[in-house]
Structure 1
Amino acid sequence: MCFLFCIFSNAQNTVSGSVRNENNNKPLAFATVRLSDGKTVIVDVDGKFTIENTKGLDHFSVSYSGFETVSVPLEPGKKFYTVKLREKATEISELIIGGNPAPGIVKKAIEKKYYNDPKRRLASFQFKTYNKLIVTANPDSISGKIDSVFLYEKIGSRLLKLDSSDYKFKKIIQKQHLYQTEKVSEFRFNQKEGLKETIIAARMAGFKQPIYEYISLKLQSFSDYNNRIQLFENKYISPVSDESLKHYNFKILDTVFIGTRKVFMIHFKDKKQSKKAKLEGILYIDKETHAITKSIYRIKSVLDISATTYYTYDKEEDLWFPERQSLKIVKGNKKGDIKILGETIRFSQEDEAENKNPKKKEASDFVYILSESKNSEVEFNVPVQIRHRYVGIEIREEAISRNEHFWVPYRKDSLDVRSIVTYSALDSLVTKERYEQKIQLGRKVINGFFPLGPVDMDLRYLIKYNNYEGFRFGAGGVTNDRFSKFMRLEGYGAYGLKDKAFKYSLGTATRLGKFSNTWIGVSYTDDVQEIASTSFEVDKRKFRLYDPRPLNLTTFFSHQTWKGYVESRLIPKTESVWQLSHSYIDPKFGYFFDVGDKILSSFRITMATASLQWNPFSVYMQTPNGRIETEKGYPKFTFQFSQTLPGVLQNDVDFGKLDFRAEYEKKYLDGQKTSLLFQGGFAYGDAPITHLFSIAPNSLDKDAILQRFNISGKNSFETMRFNEFFSDEYAAFHFKHAFRKIKLFNQIKPIPVLVTRMAWGNMQDKGKHSGANFNTLENGYFESGLEVNNIYKGLGLSGFYRYGYYQLPRFDDNISLKLTFVLDLGF
């Protein structure tokens, strides 16, 4: 009872309100609320404010540039205040000299940012940061009543049920938060290696082993001086970037003191009113140094995000350095639930108290996310060593096992009762419901495995279909850490019902390095493979739940292959495979290859291959379980070089191959996405058709459009016939632009996607290849079309048209209609 009374008492000390223009009743964004104890609160972009604790206060005053200041007495029991300000006839002289001085002040801040930016000014620095993130709600915002739900009929109404959800929710939220995480990080910076975060303690309510991806979420940028600032995984043009004066309108609101230093309050707002997610806020700029002393950012779209960075002044260095940060997220001004931390969370803005017809809100509508960080142990210009600088975030082995005594010095305040209860309640709930095990299972399944004790069953081998093997059933797997952390066994077996042949593979590998995840292994495979398919060795472990393109394939070759390989992430921001293989190749379609002194129908190939995926703009996190790509950066590059070894293990052919791929993707704040893919290859020497390039055709050689109807591939040419073109050198370009979802009905939300593809190719000596009729691509191949994805349950339709030099004589032969399928697991 005492616990509930304390919560109730604190809730009663919270008041809120709005600030408006007396003449037109419009909200006055970012007005200043000064409390009688000297503290200040900044009104948000909608003119709203909250005073968390009024204990000991008797009044507050509200001021805004160009308006008369109003003093408001606090009345017992009053919870909401509407404050209306009257415009002044004149403004203070400092603000009217030269018209609007704000752009000039910001221009000086931009000119001096190289001096004021700690990452440019200081040779090195280091500090520790305590961060706490909670998902919670204010109990006082929730009525907690048990509602009666009636059905209204012609003859009256009848009671259907008693709705106690708000009542139950308030009971829960009075005792605990919905979710909570804490971490302590050590940040180190020097001019040579840059800034790196090392997490030395991490705690996630309910989990013995935290979900590392969520601990690494980039909520706010460390510095306001970057040309792009980051807010909740999205990037925006900084108000002090080199181009900010083109993008923002600036207005001076006030001059205030932070400590003993006088600063300008400058409001900025995006000039493009049509933008869906506009950055708006306030910069506090030091009058003498023109350094940022405080920043407030606001994004109001599907999410309503408020972020504040507070700086502290170091007199010895004459430098403002970040001291603490806060970020709050509620539901914005658009419909839709938001998926955060793997769950769908409902957010809502609070309606103003004076709204005459407020929409009734459920208790969960008041949920918000709050992240707060506090820096400590700050040191400037001391020797700083940074290990593994290419890993942006590193989590120490002991981080997840810190005891309670470790946390105490870093917390700004000791944990309150609600936070303590949150840990115990969620620890119990997660253990009872086995959420941690379910998440681990989900991780495995997303990557194509299903754990069965010490073995992870590989889902790629269960069932497949193509025109050569027919239905192919199989099973495979690889041992996991429960078997050994330093050794693995892997393999599969499969049987094709049409070719009546058994295929299999066996392999083993030993781990050489944990940090670089380096393995050395050997394997033997007896299987079939599509001819002229471009295959990067670094892609072999990537899982696709479905791959529709092989359904109509008919041309394969069988191979018996021995491999010795090393796979590693030792080179910064890369994955690489280095291997030596020996294969016996037997084409299954009556093929003959002329190598000058002999004609081969089958052949042996001994080959050395180096395959490397390089992601220079991605951000990686090293966890006790391995390395994770936490922020995908583009472009990404893949290189592969292969060379046969004449005279080694009876090698029959002498050739080499170079393959290259570049990927780029840009996501827009309004939900649109642009994707670009460039891929090319070059084969030299005596390369058989099995090892040339066909650039992924995906159309049947049929007369009628509906006879060619099948399923679209990811990056395949939808109007190109199977085996129509082969090349020993080629270049292909794919362009896709996905527009926003179009909501037609609750279950029907199609996504239109414009697609254009083009390719060029060549064949140096087409006469070497017998038994296969094909064309070459010297004159360029072109197709364009429209995909309408996710019409219903991930299913959609697409249409493509073939044009240019290789356009077919009949109009409808150039048209391809396909079924599309986009798997959305909600992650």
Structure 2
Amino acid sequence: MKKIFVLLLSFGYFSVFSQSKMIVRSSGDQSPVSGATVSCNNKVLGKTDATGTLNFKTKCKKVEISANGFQEEDAVVDKVMEVFLPKADPNVKNIQAIVLEDKSDPRALEILRKVNENYKQNSPQSLDSYSYKSYEKISLDLDEDSINAYNAYIANRIDSLKKLPQRPMKAAEKKDSVQSVNLMKLLGESKIFLWERASQTLYSQKYGEKINILDNKMAGIKDPIYELMTFRSNKNQIPKEIREENRNLYRFFLTDSIEIEGRQNYVIRFRQVDYKRTVKQRKFNGYLYVDKETYALKKIESNSKVKSEGSITSIWKPVDNKWFLVKENYKMKMTSTIFDNDDKKDKNKSKEEKEEDKRNTTRFGSYAFVTADYFDFKTPIEEKPEDFRGYTIGVKNSDGTSIDQYRTENLTAREAATYTTIDSLSSKYKLNQKAKALTGLLKGKIRLGMVDFDLSKIVGYNKYEHFRLGAGAKLNEKFSRYISPDAYFAYGIYDKDWKFGAGVDLRTTLEKNSFFRVEYFNDVMAAGRFSENLWNFRMKIMNSGVALNNGVFYGYEGLRVSYENDITNALTINVSAKKTQEESKFDYNFKGLGNRFDIASSTITLKYSPNSKNIMTPTGKYTYEQNLPELYLNYEQGYKALGGDFNFSRFDALFVHNFKTKLGVTGVRLYGGLITGDAPVWKNFTLNGLGNGREGLNFNLTSYLGFATMEGGRYYNDKFVGAYLTHRLPWYFKSFGKNVSSFDLIYRGTIGDMKNPEFHQFDFKKLDHLYNEVGLEWNNFLSSQFNLGFFYRVGYYNTPKFKDNFAIQFKFKLLGF
């Protein structure tokens, strides 16, 4: 089951004592189970009658169901619950003799087709406006059934340790031993981690979505972690179990119909395709309730193949004829805490002794628990422009002082103890500092005190420098909220030369991204690189390999002054002016003027990202959802009048989007550039070849705008357009492991021209015919986190030799499309 945080629980205080109806049946033949006991926290709520039904009231969020001859199950409390108990005796064959066909029920597929067809119409976002509040709780803990066993084990463990002969210990060893014992005790008394968040969501067709964090509290962490505040469920997305492209990952069976709050619902059971043999007599690993009138999802429950590994339940309800998510509950097995019962460590043990050690090892599984309630629904709402201003998420309060106003249930004694316990450990183990360090990694930084170190500066590779080693550091908000100096240096192993730079950011406000920057630099770059202004860290990392096989570099030294401002949540502008001295690092002569020039220019960059979601943090703006479409525009103007050698104008643009149809998901990148006036070749555009141009297999890493089959550094144009199209086939499958694989069809093409190639006296070619390559990419190759692509060059630039046209490309999946 994918490690995705999901949420759930009740409608609020007003409904915790409402009537609930439980229907219990056998998972084999679906016959009613009478006498099944329904309980909460070891308190019996009642037993089912002859029809397998029990009506009860409870304030519990979850109940347990047990019956003689059946395995125990649990269920999230709802108005109506239907639970199927598996047989407990594995030798009972009469029920399991039922053979499931390895194909879905056509009736179930037709219902799911209508669910997808009507999903947008049933979604709250089809309303003109609405608002609601939510309370979410995330924790990390042992399974409830294991807590008593864990405490008993720790008590016995400590007693046995006391009986052992005491050996002399150094002060540090003794301190570590005492702390280790104390930590083991605390784990039995409280949860390992606890975080609560209350928020208000506003939505308007005119102004979009706005989320206000009403309060936030995390055990052991004093300073709020804004990046964690951005955590969201998939409440506005179609659940993966019913998406059309995932049809062949599951088998669906229409098994029943049931009435819930006066509305009739279809009941559809489903199982994974590789779930052909029952595990512990569990025939299905999930079910769906579908409203018969609107074909909206009422409830979905999905379990892992082995139930102890995780489960998720989501429940919706109609409000003004649209279906709002009201509960989510998520449990996922994380890791196991391992205790070796034998304290005698010996690295020279035999294989048999090591196997015996494994049998003597005690394991306790830890789980992530996520629960959420959504309540106080209102539609329509008064749409005030000022309520939607700023970034997508605004923080009203984050110190935890008012979180109890929004809790939909009281904390348990174990949860309340977590705040006391973890807070007491916070300073000792520097939890606050470690949490900040982890959030820094999201932005490609390592945080040490008031200094952020840039991970992208540590090591790099290109054809000119070969390996490039360096470091970059920036003073963060602990130094100053308004002033942030930074510097970097690097050394090229092949060219044996140092590069360096320094700058300072001066913020004008803490409410949004708005700052002046002054910087000095002395560095090198591949000639003709496409602008990456305002690209995020992931995009830059993905495109960093575009110059791996381009040895045409130039050096630049100078000063730049710039100002950047987020005009709205969607629109960012950056204006800059710079004066540089630039020189080719290859044999080059431009119009007989040599290879070294003074450049004076100004640049305007615009980024438009209407659907991306942002939050302002103490370290600056953080984009927690980069949603498409996006548009990037750059205009650079060179001036002779300001001491430069040339007048020129350089434009480039990039448009990125994707869209989904019944035929799959199509991604589009359209980009191009134009330069007018006089300028050296590095101000023109290289066409981003990734090939090595040598004999043998052409193998390379993917890049954001690169061509797998094109030779690097070979083609330069003063004007060009390009397209990168990818289409994901709606066929998902599993090879082995947990990851789902799929295939992408890919097309890359570009064409352009150069008006006066003779002005640039070095060995290159202009690309004035359409360059095409097509490819097939296997996503999650052999269930790994990597994609493997095969590409072939077609059209005008195709050559008779197959290997000249063929390339294999490798991509890290986390970089995405």
Task: Please give the TM-score of this superposition, normalised by the length of structure 2.
Answer: 0.68
Match of 2:562 in 1: 565
Deviation at 1:564, TM superposition (A): 1.5
**Shift in Å, 1:699:** 2.7
**Which structure 2 segments of 5+ residues have no match?**
1-21, 54-64, 74-83, 88-106, 154-181, 245-250, 277-283, 339-360
Matched residue, 1:281? 288
Residue of structure 1 equivalent to 2:199: 185
Paired residue type of 2:797: Y
Cα shift at 1:101: 15
- 2:485 paired residue number: 489
Match of 1:723 among 703, 707, 713: 713
- Confirm whether residue 657 of structure 1 aligns to residue 656 of structure 2: no
Alignment partner of 1:689 out of 681, 690, 711: 681
Secondary structure in 1 aligned to 2:610? coil
Write the mapping of 1:634-649 to structure 2, written as runs, cut at 5 A: 634-649=628-643
- Whether 1:612 and 2:612 are equivalent positions in the alignment is no
Compared CA separation, residues 201 and 108, structure 1 to 2 (3 A): closer
Q: For 1:776, what is the secondary structure of its paired residue?
A: coil
**Inter-CA distance 643–540: structure 2 relative to 1 (3 Å threshold):** farther
Q: 1:436 aligns with which of 417, 429, 432?
A: 432
Superposed displacement of residue 532, structure 1: 1.2
Distance 1:319 1:756 in 2: 43
Write out aligned runs for 1:201-240 (5 A): 201-219=215-233, 221=235, 229-230=237-238
Q: Structure 1 residues 49, 534: closer, same or farther in 2, change over 3 A?
A: farther
Measure how far apart 1:690 and its partner are: 1.1
Q: Supply the distance in 2 between the matched residues of 1:345 and 1:216 (Cα, whole angstroms).
A: 29
Distance of 1:102 and 1:463 partners within structure 2: 51
- In structure 2, distance between residues paired with 1:202 and 1:344: 29
Q: Which residue number in structure 2 is paired with residue 295 of structure 1? A: 298
Give the 3 Å change call, closer, same or farther, for CA 666–520 of structure 1 in structure 2. Answer: farther
**Quick one: structure 1 residues 727 and 380, their matched pair in 2 at CA, closer, same or farther if it must change by over 3 Å?**
closer
Q: Give, in angstroms, the shift of residue 624 of structure 1.
A: 5.2
The partner residue of 1:326 within 325, 328, 341 is: 328
Which of 306, 312, 315 is equivalent to 1:309?
315
Structure-2 residue corresponding to 1:39: none
Change (3 A) 1:727 1:270: farther
Q: Supply the distance in 2 between the matched residues of 1:613 and 1:284 (Cα, whole angstroms).
A: 43
Corresponding residue number in structure 2 for 1:705? 696
Q: Determine if contact 2:734/2:783 at 8 Å carries over to the other structure.
A: no
CA contact (8 A) 1:753 1:789 kept: no
Question: Is the CA contact (8 Å cut-off) linking 1:127 and 1:375 kept in structure 2?
Answer: yes
Aligned to 1:263: 263
CA apart distance, 1:177: 3.5
Which whole-Å deviations, capped at 9, do the CAs of 1:90-143 have from their partners, x for residues lacking one? xxxxxxxxxx99999x999999997x987666x765554333334445534778
- Provide the rounded CA distance (Å) in 1 between the counterparts of 2:325 and 2:723: 48
Aligned residues: 687
Tell me: CA distance 1:444–1:724, structure 2 relative to 1, closer, same or farther (3 Å).
same
Amino acid at match of 2:210: K
Aligned 1:105-504 pairs, distance under 5 A:
126-136=131-141, 138-140=143-145, 144=149, 175-190=189-204, 192-219=206-233, 221=235, 229-230=237-238, 253-255=257-259, 258=261, 262-268=262-268, 280-283=287-290, 295-300=298-303, 305-309=311-315, 311=317, 324-330=326-332, 364=364, 367=367, 369-373=369-373, 375-376=375-376, 383=382, 385=384, 387=386, 389=388, 393-396=392-395, 398-399=397-398, 401-403=399-401, 406-445=402-441, 447-469=443-465, 472-496=468-492, 498-499=494-495, 501-504=497-500
- Give the secondary-structure state (helix, strand or coil) at the position aligned to 1:554: coil
What code does the residue aligned with 1:561 have? G
Rounded to whole Å, the distance in 1 between the matches of 2:530 and 2:802 is 31
Aligned residues of 2:614 and 2:621 also touching (Cα < 8 A): yes
C-alpha RMSD of the superposition: 5.5
CA distance in 2, matches of 1:509, 1:451: 18
The partner residue of 1:808 within 799, 802, 807 is 799
Deviation per CA, 1:140-160, whole angstroms, max 9, x where unpaired? 47783999xxxxxxxxxxxxx
1:742-781 aligned within 5 A: 756-781=747-772
Pair 741,695 (structure 1): closer, same or farther in 2 beyond 3 Å: farther
Unaligned runs of 5+ in 1: 1-15, 36-47, 66-72, 86-99, 148-167, 222-227, 239-246, 332-337, 347-360
AA in 1 matched with 2:40: E
Aligned-partner Cα distance in 1 for 2:199–2:536: 35
Q: 1:26 aligns to what? A: 29
Residue aligning to 1:354: none
- SS at structure 2 position matched to 1:329: strand
Amino acid aligned to 1:618: S
Q: Tell me if the contact between 2:258 and 2:267 (Cα under 8 Å) persists in the aligned partners.
A: no
Return the offset for 1:510: 0.9
Q: Is the 8 A contact 2:211 2:392 kept in 1?
A: yes
Give the structure-1-normalised TM-score.
Answer: 0.67
Distance 2:30 2:513 in 1: 56
Of 75-84 and 511-520, more deviation after overlay is shown by 75-84
- C-alpha displacement of 1:637: 2.9
SS of aligned partner of 2:709: strand
Q: CA deviation at 1:657?
A: 1.9
1:189 offset after TM fit, Å? 4.5
Amino acid aligned to 1:728: D
Separation in 2 of the partners of 1:212 and 1:326? 22
Matched letter for residue 763 of structure 1: M
> SS state of the match for residue 423, structure 1?
helix
Q: Percent identity?
A: 20
Q: Distance in 2 between matches of 1:49 and 1:217?
A: 37
Between the aligned partners of 1:410 and 1:786, the Cα distance in structure 2 is 47
Mark the CA change 1:311 to 1:541 in structure 2 (over 3 Å): closer, same or farther. Answer: closer
The alignment status of 1:505 with 2:501, answered yes or no, reads yes
Moved more, 601-610 or 272-281: 272-281
User: How far 1:201 sits from its partner (Å)?
Assistant: 0.8
- Structure with higher RCO (Cα < 8 A, 6+ apart): 2
Q: Deviations over 1:749-791 (max 9, x none)?
A: 9998775533323223323322333242413242546679888
The alpha carbon displacement at 1:202 in A equals 0.6
State how far apart, in whole Å, the 1-side matches of 2:272 and 2:146 are: 35
Q: Tell me: CA distance 1:616–1:364, structure 2 relative to 1, closer, same or farther (3 Å).
A: farther
Residue type of the partner of 1:398?
N
Q: Distance in 1 between matches of 2:118 and 2:465?
A: 68
Cα pair 1:662 1:678 within 8 Å, conserved: yes
In structure 2, C-alpha distance between the alignment counterparts of 1:83 and 1:566, rounded to whole Å: 64
Instruction: Write the letter of the residue equivalent to 1:422.
Output: T
Counterpart amino acid of residue 389 in structure 1: F
Tell me if structure 1 keeps the 8 A contact 2:330–2:370: yes
Shift of 1:509: 2.5
* Aligned equivalents of 1:509, 1:363: Cα separation in 2: 51
CA distance in 2, matches of 1:169, 1:506: 45
Q: Are 2:454 and 2:473, in contact at CA under 8 Å, matched by a contact in 1?
A: yes
Summarize the Cα distance change of 1:323–1:470 in structure 2 as closer, same or farther, 3 Å threshold: closer
Name the CA distance, whole Å, in 2 between partners of 1:630 and 1:661. Answer: 20
CA shift at 1:485, angstroms? 1.2
In 1: Cα distance, 2:424 partner to 2:384 partner: 41
Per the alignment, residue 156 of structure 1 pairs with none
